[in-house]
Structure formats: structure tokens, C-alpha cells
């Protein structure tokens, strides 16, 4: 069973890994080019006012600092934006695919529901956590080998936000996977919840719903520290959601 799970996850995990690493190397080596293009663009006299507000000269000038550039463009933009998507991709087919393909009976004939659930969940979550940690330390590794002056002290805080945020969205997709009998519903449902909470989180009274803001490290950029309270709450919700997923899977009629 373990071999089967590794085989099932191999393509997804390798595709995600090489895609994200490639994305990083499309960003990191081209700092000077990106900044020079932005400086040239913002110096245009006919630049619309809303663009000037989105790209103030002070921000563009700060991008000349390597640490600010890589933290803002990697964690605060590119990696941060795709973390929930990565988590959903790793979780949504775990059980829904077995239901859809009719292979769940084969698995349960050889192992208990508890073993099937926790083995599949643990392996997928372990791969997700390992990959997100690697993605989070890429800026530090690149800076070291490229001999860049880099503020390494913020890496742990951003790593915590990325790992906890990805675990949360993994748990949401896992629950939908345990409930659904086909692969389309948990995939679309996860993205619908992601879009809904993000939009609602733009409203000031509901800003706590915007998990994207947490993953992107907004609090870290403001204070220089991880958001401990939100981290604890999100971790607790993730654990509770995984346990609910187990209860649903255990009670679901095959």
C-alpha cells in the first residue's frame, strides 16, 4: 500500500517541485533587469495615476535591496500565491479518486479504514511540508551560493507561515475529498472556498478570513515577526478538520 501511495503521488509532487523551483530561478537571477524595467516604466511622464499608486517610486527603489526584493517577490507574491493551490492539488484526489475509480474496496479489503486514512493523509502531508520547507529556504540557499547580502533572520517566520498555511488548505481539500465520490467536486469546492474567503477577507470586519494575507506574510513585513496567534488558530483548525475528515471517511458508506 505504501508503494502504491508513493507511486500515486510521485507525478504530482515532482511536477510541483520542478515547477516551483523553475519559477524561483525565473525571478532570483533577474533582480537588476526587473528593477531597471520598473524604474524605466515608473519614470514615464504619461503614467496613469492608479499605476503610480500601485508602483510608488519608493517601493521600486527598495527593490534594489536584495533582501527586500526576494522576500517581497518570492514570499509576498509568487510562492505565497501558489501555496494554497499546491496544497489543494496534493489533497483533493486522496480519497475522491479511490471512490471514483472503485479502488476503495480493494484498499479496505487489505487494511482498516483507520490505516488507509492516516497512511494516505500522512504521506501526502509529509511530502507537502517537505516541499514547502524547501521552497521557503530557496532564497537563503541561493543567497549563500550567489554570495548575496541577505537578511536570513526572517526565513523561519516566513517558513512557518507557508507551512501552516499550506497545511490549512490541505485539510480543507482533504475533508472535501473524504466527502465526495468524484474528483471534480473537492477540486472546485476547495478553490471556491479559497476565492470566497479571500474576497470576504477584503472586508475589514472579516479580514481574519483572508488566509492568503497570512501566507503572504503581511504581518511579517509589518512587524518582522511571525503572527503567533493566527498560526496557533490556523493549526488548531487544520488538526480539527483532519480529524473531522477521518470521522467522515470512517462513517462513509462504500
**Tens digit of pLDDT for each residue in 169-186?**
999 999 999 999 889 999
Say whether 179 sits in a helix, a strand or coil: helix
CA distance 44 to 205: 38
DSSP codes of every residue in 61-105: HHTTSHHHHHIIIIIIIIHHHHHHHHHHHHHTHHHHHHHHHT-HH
Residue 151, Cβ density class (10 Å: 0-12 exposed, 13-18 middle, ≥19 buried)? middle
Q: Which pLDDT belongs to residue 11?
A: 85
93: in domain: yes
Q: Which pLDDT belongs to residue 106?
A: 82
CA distance 231 to 237: 10
120: in domain: yes
181: in domain: yes
Distances (CA, A) of 27 to 56, 62, 94: 21, 16, 32
225: in domain: yes
92: in domain: yes
Residue 177's domain comprises 2-24+66-251
182: in domain: yes
How many separate domains does the chain show?
1
Say whether 215 sits in a helix, a strand or coil: helix
30: in domain: no
Q: Which pLDDT belongs to residue 17?
A: 96
47: in domain: no
CA distance 165 to 172: 11
In this predicted model, what pLDDT tens digit does every residue of 104-119 receive, in sequence order? Answer: 888 888 888 899 999 9
Q: Which pLDDT belongs to residue 125?
A: 96
Q: How many residues does the chain have?
A: 254
| Nearest alpha-carbon partner for 213 in 199, 192, 232 | 199
Q: Which three cell numbers stand for residue 138?
A: 530557496
Q: What is the mean pLDDT of each run of 10 residues along the chain (254 residues)?
A: 68 93 95 81 61 66 90 94 96 90 83 90 95 98 95 97 98 96 92 94 90 94 94 97 95 80
Residues sharing a CB contact under 8 Å with residue 239, sequence separation 6 or more, in sequence order: 171
Q: Which pLDDT belongs to residue 150?
A: 95
Q: Which pLDDT belongs to residue 245?
A: 96
Q: Which pLDDT belongs to residue 104?
A: 84
CA distance 118 to 124: 10
Amino acid at each position: 500500500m505504501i508503494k502504491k501511495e508513493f507511486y500515486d503521488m510521485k507525478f504530482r509532487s515532482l511536477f510541483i517541485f520542478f515547477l516551483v523551483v523553475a519559477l524561483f530561478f525565473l525571478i532570483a537571477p533577474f533582480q537588476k533587469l526587473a528593477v531597471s524595467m520598473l524604474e524605466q516604466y515608473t519614470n514615464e511622464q504619461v503614467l496613469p495615476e492608479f499605476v503610480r499608486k500601485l508602483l510608488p517610486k519608493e517601493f521600486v527603489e527598495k527593490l534594489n535591496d536584495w533582501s527586500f526584493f526576494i522576500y517581497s517577490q518570492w514570499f509576498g507574491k509568487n510562492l505565497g500565491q501558489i501555496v494554497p493551490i499546491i496544497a489543494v492539488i496534493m489533497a483533493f484526489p486522496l480519497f475522491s479518486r479511490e471512490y471514483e475509480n472503485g479502488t476503495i474496496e480493494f484498499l479496505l479489503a487489505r487494511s482498516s479504514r483507520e490505516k488507509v486514512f492516516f497512511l494516505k493523509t500522512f504521506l501526502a502531508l509529509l511530502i507537502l511540508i517537505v516541499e514547502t520547507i524547501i521552497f521557503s529556504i530557496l532564497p537563503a540557499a541561493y543567497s549563500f551560493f550567489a554570495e548575496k547580502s541577505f537578511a536570513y533572520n526572517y526565513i523561519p517566520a516566513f517558513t512557518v507561515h507557508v507551512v501552516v498555511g499550506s497545511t490549512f488548505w490541505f485539510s480543507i481539500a482533504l475533508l472535501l475529498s473524504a466527502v465526495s465520490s468524484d474528483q471534480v467536486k473537492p477540486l472546485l469546492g476547495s478553490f471556491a472556498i479559497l476565492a470566497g474567503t479571500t474576497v470576504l477577507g477584503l472586508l475589514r470586519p472579516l479580514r481574519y478570513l483572508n488566509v492568503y494575507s497570512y501566507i503572504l506574510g503581511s504581518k511579517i513585513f509589518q512587524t518582522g515577526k511571525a503572527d503567533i496567534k493566527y498560526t496557533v488558530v490556523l493549526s488548531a483548525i487544520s488538526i480539527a478538520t483532519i480529524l473531522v475528515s477521518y470521522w467522515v471517511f470512517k462513517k462513509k458508506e462504500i
